[in-house]
């Protein structure tokens, strides 16, 4: 029994080491666009990919978030722009900026990370605007950004990563969060 547990733990550790050391042959000309980079997962991912040599195009909601990310990133692999995923004009401006940055190479990756969770609570406590606000960011924003950048992604045979949640498969409470994550799961399935 203990031998089995030790072998499984060893295999897991070796798999982790091998996975973490795998890299693409060249990433210096690979552009990745990430939304929601003011803080959290998007911020961490942008900095990590830039350190690994990717050309990161990071979208932040606020000028303070963009400035903070630029200051923390170091090196020239990270560029920032402002993006409010609830506004079509902002999405169009950001998409045009991405087109200018990537040129003919296309976009290697899109990470739809921008998201909000609140308000969460029993459904009877919510009104329709609570659902609309969350859906506008978590679902419709990600869909519109993807549609704007799809030609660039196809040109580079790129990837789309949509940040979701287990609550996109099993709803645990009321509010727009679970609904929006179910929506983004369905959208991701339709892209495959």
* Catalytic residue IDs: 177
Alpha-carbon separation of residue 173 from 51, 122, 154 (angstroms):
38, 6, 37
| Contact status, residue 67 vs residue 92, Cβ threshold 8 Å | no
Edge-first strand listing for the sheet containing 55-60 = 78-82, 55-60, 31-34, 109-112, 159-162
Upstream peptide bond of 119 is cis (omega within 30 degrees of 0):
yes
* N residues, the chain: 192
């Amino acid at each position: 029994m203990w031998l089995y547990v030790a072998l499984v733990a060893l295999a897991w550790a070796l798999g982790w080491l091998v996975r973490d050391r795998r890299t693409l042959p060249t990433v210096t000309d690979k552009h990745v666009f990430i939304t929601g980079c003011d803080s959290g997962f998007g911020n961490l991912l942008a900095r990590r990919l830039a350190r690994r040599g990717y050309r990161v195009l990071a979208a932040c909601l606020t000028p303070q978030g963009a400035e903070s990310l630029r200051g923390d990133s170091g090196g020239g692999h990270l560029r920032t722009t402002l993006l409010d995923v609830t506004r079509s004009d902002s999405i169009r401006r950001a998409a045009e900026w991405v087109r200018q940055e990537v040129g003919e190479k296309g976009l290697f990756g899109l990470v739809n990370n921008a998201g909000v969770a609140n308000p969460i609570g029993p459904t009877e406590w919510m009104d329709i605007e609570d659902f609309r606000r969350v859906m506008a960011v978590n679902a419709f924003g990600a869909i519109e950004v993807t549609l704007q950048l799809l030609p660039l992604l196809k040109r580079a045979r790129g990837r789309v990563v949509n940040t979701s949640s287990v609550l996109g498969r099993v709803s645990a409470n009321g509010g727009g969060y679970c609904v929006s994550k179910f929506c983004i799961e369905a959208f991701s399935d339709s892209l495959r």
